[in-house]
Amino acid sequence: MKFVDEFRDADIGRAVAMEILSMVEPGRHYKLMEVCGGHTHSIYKYGIDDLLPANVELVHGPGCPVCVIPMGRVDDGIAIAHNDGVIFTCFGDMMRIPGSNGSLLDAKAAGADVRMVYSPLDALRIAKQNPDREVVFFAIGFETTAPSTALTLKRARAENVTNFSVMCSHVTIVPPLRALLESPDLRLDGFIGPGHVSTVVGGRPFQFIPADYGKPVVIAGFEPLDILQAIAMILRQLSDGRCEVENQYKRVVPYEGNLRALEVMAEVFELRPHFEWRGLGFISHSGLKLSDAYADLDAEIRFSVPGVRVADPKACQCGEVLKGVIKPWECKVFGTACTPERPIGTCMVSSEGACAAYYNFGRFAREREVV
Amino acid sequence: MTGAGTCGSQHCVTCGDDGVPMQVVRIDEVRGLALCADENGTKETVETALVEPVAPGDVLLVHAGTALARLEHAA
């Protein structure tokens, strides 16, 4: 398919890998963070890290929306799902995230009507098909997914679907990045910017990274050549002594983003004063809730929720993994007590989580093997 | 990936902030929706409010049932 095949060409990939090799200084260690979970997945699916020199290290960032949901939010969702007459809908990976007393999948097994949907629009369709039931959609995701939820809420309003509501756990990408950059235990040389978040927000929100912290950012697509080229562009900036926001993914991402998406988000959502992130703690102005104009469609108002903060399991080191401080296999329970079948932490649940990506693609090696 | 917009055992396009290139097959202008097909021919109803106007044959970048960008017209 056009726009796909040409970005998987092996010969060009090897040529870019050679270009990368020619740019690295032998005595220097480069630590680059891919912000987005989709990039993490592509890197291991296509073996991109094996094409890199040994002194170029990829660190996995907090950009998996499932992985950053704290246990207390899962408990809130389960509490809503157990209400009589409720059909609780969520994306696939969300169903397996452990709360303090099981997951939504466990709640389903215990009798709650929990259904997986592929989009908020599917949840709205279920509401229209079941007018005598309350249908709740557990909305998660960064700015990529938030417009979809916003448009669905507008559609619910326009079509007068009153038995539909949203439990909003959308988050924004800039506050956690700033928190990471302020973190004293993490030294990064540059960022592979999130391609599809940028489709919505554009390149401007990332300008603070070169301006305030002196690090390069290259917004990248998700095919193997996209990621290799982005790494080459970051290394080129470092070798030239530059730091700026560059856009490798110009075929999709305009610098100003999608203005219609930003408008609809501004209408439907407002920033929460603070939001809890798994492993990162509370971060100011990093989560979205429904605006006053849409409060009647807010599931957290329509239903009572515990709203209790639950500490992460002690054995779980998702926080350090999300911050890129340790590699997944350095976690004490990786691949033993914590596996995709029986996850302890969220990073092992979502296939975009760093731990699951390592586990599924056989990255158990304690030492990297570089060709 | 098992198909457009699906959460398979190896990949979840929604959770991964992924986007799937899909071609417009048919449009419902009144409701602002389009039937789109991915590279495997899997069809999905897509919200097109953010990229309108669209026409059959256009290739859209679709995430969670919503088209975020139109690939041919991107800068």
Tell me how far the alpha carbon of residue A223 is from its chain's centroid: 17
Confidence of residue B18 (pLDDT cuts 50, 70, 90): confident
| Torsion sign over Cα A37, A40, A44, A48 | positive
| A149: closest CA of chain B, how far (Å) | 9
Kind of pairing, strands A134-141 and A86-90?
parallel
C-alpha angle with apex A50: A49 to A54, nearest 5 degrees? Answer: 85
pTM above 0.90, yes or no: no
Task: Give a yes or no: residue A323 inside a domain.
Answer: no
Report ipTM for this prediction.
0.82
Task: Please give the share of chain A, as a percent, with pLDDT higher than 90.
Answer: 60
d(CA A312, CA A170): 20
Task: Give a yes or no: residue A120 inside a domain.
Answer: yes
Residue with tokens 């559609």: A155
Question: What is the domain count for chain A?
Answer: 1
| B31: closest CA of chain A, how far (Å) | 9
Of the candidates A219, A228, A224, the residue with the CA atom closest to the CA atom of residue A251: A219
| Domain of residue A114, CATH code | 3.40.50.11740
Would you state the structure tokens that stand for residue A137, as one six-digit string?
A: 């959609």
Cα Rg, chain B, nearest whole Å: 12
Region for A141 from its dihedrals, namely left if φ exceeds 0, alpha if ψ lies in -120 to 50, beta otherwise: left
According to DSSP, residue B1 is labeled -
Helix H or strand E encompassing A111? none
B11 has pLDDT over 70:
no
Give the model's pLDDT for residue B15.
52
Give the model's pLDDT for residue A96.
85
Mean pLDDT of B29-44: 92
Mean pLDDT of A198-213: 96
Instruction: Give me the amino acid identity at A133.
Output: R
Task: Give a yes or no: residue A140 inside a domain.
Answer: yes
Residue A88: domain span: 71-173+258-302
Mapping DSSP to helix (H, G, I), strand (E, B) and coil, where does residue B72 land?
coil
Mean pLDDT of A12-37: 91
Does A316 touch chain B if contact means CB atoms closer than 8 Å?
no
d(CA A173, CA A180): 11
d(CA A18, CA A122): 45
Q: Rounded to 5 degrees, what are φ and ψ at A200? A: -90, -50
Domain spans, chain B: 1-75
According to DSSP, residue A293 is labeled G
Give the model's pLDDT for residue A172.
94
Mapping DSSP to helix (H, G, I), strand (E, B) and coil, where does residue A140 land?
strand
Give the model's pLDDT for residue A240.
96
Task: Give a yes or no: residue A111 inside a domain.
Answer: yes
d(CA A209, CA A244): 8
Confidence of residue A1 (pLDDT cuts 50, 70, 90): low
A-chain CB neighbours of B51 within 8 Å are 258
Mapping DSSP to helix (H, G, I), strand (E, B) and coil, where does residue A82 land?
coil
Give the model's pLDDT for residue A368.
45
Per-residue pLDDT of A172-189, as tens digits, reads 999 989 988 988 777 899
Kind of pairing, strands A113-116 and B43-47?
unpaired
| Candidates B11, B18, B74; nearest CB to A254 | B74
| Low-confidence winner among A163-172, A238-247, A350-359 (lowest mean pLDDT) | A350-359
Confidence of residue B72 (pLDDT cuts 50, 70, 90): low
Contacts by residues A1-5 (CB-CB < 8 Å, ≥ 24 positions apart): A1/B21, A1/B38, A1/B39, A2/B21, A2/B59, A2/B71, A3/A251, A3/B21, A3/B59, A3/B71, A4/A223, A4/B21, A4/B39
More confidently predicted of A303 and A316? A303
Task: Please give the share of chain A, as a percent, with pLDDT higher than 70.
Answer: 95
In B21-60, the residues whose Cβ lies within 8 Å of chain A are 21, 38-39, 44-45, 47, 49-51, 59
Q: Which CATH architecture has domain B1-75?
A: Roll (2.30)
| Low-confidence winner among A133-142, A240-249, A280-289, A327-336 (lowest mean pLDDT) | A327-336
Per-residue pLDDT of A59-79, as tens digits, reads 888 777 887 888 899 999 999
Report CA-CA distances (Å) from A172 to A100, A169, A194, A357, B17. Answer: 25, 10, 12, 23, 12
Query: How high is the mean pLDDT of chain A?
Result: 89
A212 has pLDDT over 80:
yes
Best of B1, B6, B13, B15 to disrupt the A interface (most A CBs within 10 Å) is: B15
